[in-house]
Amino acid sequence: MKIINAKNYEELSKQAADIILTQIKINPFSVLGLATGSTPLGTYKELIKSYNEKLVYFKNIKTVNLDEYVGLSPDNPQSYRYFMNHNLFDFLDIKKENTFVPNGCTKNIESEAENYDNIIKNLGGIDLQLLGIGLDGHIGFNEPSNCFFKNTHTVNLTPSTIKANSRFFKNEEEVPKQAVTMGIGAIMQAKKVLLLANGKQKEDILNKALFGNITPKVPASILQLHNNVTVIFCE
Ligand code: GLP
């Protein structure tokens, strides 16, 4: 595991974008696993900047996102599909049909989950998975639990996650109580993992995840078993 202590958020974002750009240079047909939340926003801005400077093209890139809220349609500004379109995809030459985000607004969420795993499988797996980390140690929306869930599945969000994510909603009541998330299996099968953690408030959980026991109570701790992880942290 490689751990980088960045000077500040700008540095974290630049270094993360560089790793993604290198991946695209190595393989312009890469499958990128992408994340939402506030942490990757700076990284996405850097990618857009590089695209505008004609340093990189995304026309052959495919992306799979980690998760989506149950019950939010793609045109809902709080949905992760909307987030990805408005913070990244709309500014690149990526083909929208090559960008995948779980559909949280389907009647049959179980078959949506199965379908999502098939999409990842048919793409040949993930070359580089970008991750943030929740205050409770979640990756994607794999919440603390008694076991690791391998496949894409529906989860009940923990009170800590609902509280943390309420900053994007009018109030806590509006935060969906469930989400559909890629499982630990697809994340661990990604060839490379890039985990970003921004801010002092993430330090404690990051330490637990990287140096504590490997336990589903701290889902990100499973990354200790992955053989190609880069972590970028800044206070
Ligand atoms: C959400 C997402 C996660 C993300 C986490 C951290 O819950 N499902 O993928 O890592 O938030 O968010 P932030 O980067 O805003 O701290």
Domain ranges of the chain: 2-234
Check if 153 is active-site: no
pLDDT of residue 110: 87
CB-facing half-sphere around the CA of 104: CA atoms within 13 A: 28
Question: 99, 101, 78, 103: which is closest to 90 by C-alpha?
Answer: 99
Residues with CB under 6 A from ligand 1: 35-39, 66-67, 132-134, 140-141, 161, 165
Q: What is the CA radius of gyration of the chain?
A: 16
Quick one: which atom of ligand 1 is closest to the CA of 37? 15
Is 2-234 a CATH 3.30.70.380 domain? Answer: no
Long-range contacts of 159-165 (CB under 8 A, 24+ apart): 160/134, 160/135, 160/136, 161/134, 161/135, 161/136, 164/134, 164/135
- Of 68, 112, 143, 153, the catalytic one is 143
This prediction's pTM: 0.96
Pick out the chain residues at pLDDT < 70.
none
Q: What pLDDT was estimated at residue 109?
A: 87
> Of all atoms in ligand 1, which is nearest to the CA of residue 140?
9
Contact 191, 226 (CB under 8 A): no
Question: Dihedrals φ, ψ of 45, to 5°?
Answer: -60, -40
Task: Give distance in angstroms: CA of 134 to centre of ligand 1.
Answer: 5
